Chains A and B, each alone.
Chain A
């Protein structure tokens, strides 16, 4: 029940932000959503009544905690997470293969032509934005259920950048790419954590971990802008020269 409300809240916020912001060019849209994220975080931290300031909310109940023995809870949660992923993926695939998905691709490839057949880009952009936000809401619920706390600091632009990088590496505009990219990203991150380091250099190495991700991003954009499993570069018919931007920007 709470989960459902959470998802609805995410969509409502997305709508409030999106309504004015989606009219803008991509860079401005990105900036607008960043600004919104910062304002939201600021409000959450400063208005203690909402979510207990920077401490956040705690002692959220992990689902079904009473029924599962404590020691194996992690494992069960992982299974649950994978199941959740499968369900969300199946739904998104369904959506992608539906007429709605086809329209989204049409708008991406050639917005002018799509508009000429009656599919107004703005409306579809809004809908895909809302769907994406709903999925994000689901992720938020899952994450908070696992960690049992919800602090504003956890959900900074860092998460956005992470998703961004994972998507670019895996492939923009492709569902497989999203899953692939995220798996690779967090796989590498987990592997990096395994490298043994002495305790007094730990904090220095912490930050150094960012470097390979940055390099990966730069290299992927340079040599394989469509990512590992992204859409093939398509040339738009309205005469735009930059095929690379075409695939990456939508």
Chain B
């Protein structure tokens, strides 16, 4: 019985990881770089919701929605001001730039919120008894919202014209611009989506427990882990990898001390990089040619 309950916890963790990593995967696929600042966008979402919910007294659903909008706008601004001008500088330069953006965002959020441990103003979680296991209503919301997010992104990518533009840009930017696609506008809209996903992830993070201004560091490592496992640039692999990792992390607590929970994720990364760097479904880009 304990195993099934832990499995359920793992699925909740995995659901959160899906939302957290989807935005990152989109950038890695379309703009082709690893945006280390993604976790800071999550932090922006988490703390905007906190500030509105706890310091300004808004009900959480409203605070959460506002947080998503704010994160989306911040992401679009960062992409236009910081990443767009150096988009041709190469993946490593963009990575370094994203580290700079991380510092700027982290400094801003942390100095505004202040050090400490925070949590949302929520009633205690009601538990639903589903026979073999229990699940809290907030956890259920996390899973539900993650499912909606995945469905939404899938529909956007496959059924809308903006999704088509993104896929074209991902495939070949100069060709796409040559055919009349407004690369800058499309990019900005992509980043609005990326920010919105990050904002949602931030709210989900706050739903799961307490948050501090340093959570972003932990999260980016988890996001990187999920991405490696999924295969960098693979959007759908993220769903599988996130769930697998979430379940692995939580179920490992049944066998080894809980302090190692995150280490499981990093251990999985090391294993993946050594055995199959392209992850579950990514293309074979990881090995050097020479």
Binding site for B on A (CB under 8 A): 20-21, 23-28, 30-32, 34-36, 38-39, 42-43, 45-46, 111-112, 115, 120-122, 157, 161, 164-165, 168, 203-211, 213-218, 221-222, 225, 242, 244-246, 248-249
**Do A218 and B107 touch (CB < 8 A)?**
no
B92 in the interface (beta carbon within 8 A): yes
**Do B270 and A36 touch (CB < 8 A)?**
yes
Chain B residues lying within 8 Å of A246, measured Cβ to Cβ, are: 90
B124 in the interface (beta carbon within 8 A): no
**Do A46 and B93 touch (CB < 8 A)?**
no
User: Residues 257-271 of chain B: 1 if any A CB is under 8 Å from the residue's CB, otherwise 0?
Assistant: 101101100110110
Q: 13 more A-B contacts (CB under 8 A) besides A35-B273, A168-B96? A: A25-B286, A25-B288, A35-B267, A36-B266, A122-B288, A207-B111, A207-B213, A208-B107, A213-B103, A216-B100, A242-B88, A245-B89, A249-B93
CA of A38 to CA of B266 in the docked complex: distance in angstroms?
Answer: 7
CA of A168 to CA of B93 in the docked complex: distance in angstroms?
Answer: 10
**Do B89 and A244 touch (CB < 8 A)?**
yes
Q: Among A45, A122, A217, point to the contact of B97 (Cβ < 8 A).
A: A217
Question: Closest approach, in angstroms, between the C-beta of A231 and any C-beta of chain B?
Answer: 14
Closest residue of chain A to B94, judged by CB?
A221
- Interface centre among A35, A36, A208, A246, by most chain B C-beta atoms within 10 angstroms, is A35
Question: Closest approach, in angstroms, between the C-beta of A185 and any C-beta of chain B?
Answer: 12
CA of A214 to CA of B105 in the docked complex: distance in angstroms?
Answer: 9
Closest residue of chain A to B40, judged by CB?
A214
Chain A residues lying within 8 Å of B290, measured Cβ to Cβ, are: 111-112, 115, 120-122
Question: Closest approach, in angstroms, between the C-beta of B231 and any C-beta of chain A?
Answer: 11
Chain A residues lying within 8 Å of B263, measured Cβ to Cβ, are: 38-39, 42-43, 46
CA of A203 to CA of B115 in the docked complex: distance in angstroms?
Answer: 7
Q: Among B101, B221, B257, point to the contact of A46 (Cβ < 8 A).
A: B257
**Do A32 and B101 touch (CB < 8 A)?**
no
Closest residue of chain A to B81, judged by CB?
A218
Q: Among B115, B224, B274, point to the contact of A20 (Cβ < 8 A).
A: B274
- Interface centre among B110, B112, B287, by most chain A C-beta atoms within 10 angstroms, is B110
**Do B260 and A210 touch (CB < 8 A)?**
no
**Do B92 and A26 touch (CB < 8 A)?**
yes
Chain B residues lying within 8 Å of A244, measured Cβ to Cβ, are: 88-90, 93
CA of A165 to CA of B93 in the docked complex: distance in angstroms?
Answer: 12
Closest residue of chain A to B218, judged by CB?
A38
B155 in the interface (beta carbon within 8 A): no
B108 in the interface (beta carbon within 8 A): yes
Interface size on B, residues (CB 8 A): 52
CA of A23 to CA of B257 in the docked complex: distance in angstroms?
Answer: 33
B187 in the interface (beta carbon within 8 A): no
Known A36-B270, A38-B266; contact A221-B221, beta-carbon cutoff 8 A: no
**Do B89 and A34 touch (CB < 8 A)?**
no
B209 in the interface (beta carbon within 8 A): no
Known A23-B288, A207-B110, A221-B86; contact A248-B93, beta-carbon cutoff 8 A: yes
A-B Cβ contacts below 8 A, count: 171
**Do A31 and B273 touch (CB < 8 A)?**
yes
Known A39-B267, A244-B89; contact A24-B273, beta-carbon cutoff 8 A: yes
**Do B269 and A31 touch (CB < 8 A)?**
yes
B277 in the interface (beta carbon within 8 A): yes
**Do A24 and B286 touch (CB < 8 A)?**
yes
**Do B107 and A204 touch (CB < 8 A)?**
no
Chain B residues lying within 8 Å of A30, measured Cβ to Cβ, are: 95
CA of A207 to CA of B216 in the docked complex: distance in angstroms?
Answer: 14
Mind listing 6 A-B residue pairs with CB under 8 Å?
Answer: A31-B224, A36-B270, A39-B270, A42-B262, A207-B115, A211-B103
- Interface centre among B107, B213, B262, B267, by most chain A C-beta atoms within 10 angstroms, is B107
CA of A205 to CA of B92 in the docked complex: distance in angstroms?
Answer: 30
**Do B273 and A217 touch (CB < 8 A)?**
no
Within 8 A of A (CB), among B275-290: 277, 285-288, 290
**Do B277 and A24 touch (CB < 8 A)?**
yes
**Do A21 and B262 touch (CB < 8 A)?**
no
CA of A221 to CA of B99 in the docked complex: distance in angstroms?
Answer: 11
Chain A residues lying within 8 Å of B115, measured Cβ to Cβ, are: 203, 206-207
B79 in the interface (beta carbon within 8 A): no
Chain A residues lying within 8 Å of B273, measured Cβ to Cβ, are: 20-21, 24, 28, 31-32, 35
Chain B residues lying within 8 Å of A20, measured Cβ to Cβ, are: 273-274
CA of A234 to CA of B89 in the docked complex: distance in angstroms?
Answer: 14
Chain B residues lying within 8 Å of A218, measured Cβ to Cβ, are: 82, 97, 100-101, 104
CA of A249 to CA of B33 in the docked complex: distance in angstroms?
Answer: 13
B153 in the interface (beta carbon within 8 A): no
- Top 7 closest A-B pairs, CB basis? A245-B90, A214-B103, A217-B100, A207-B110, A210-B107, A214-B104, A211-B107
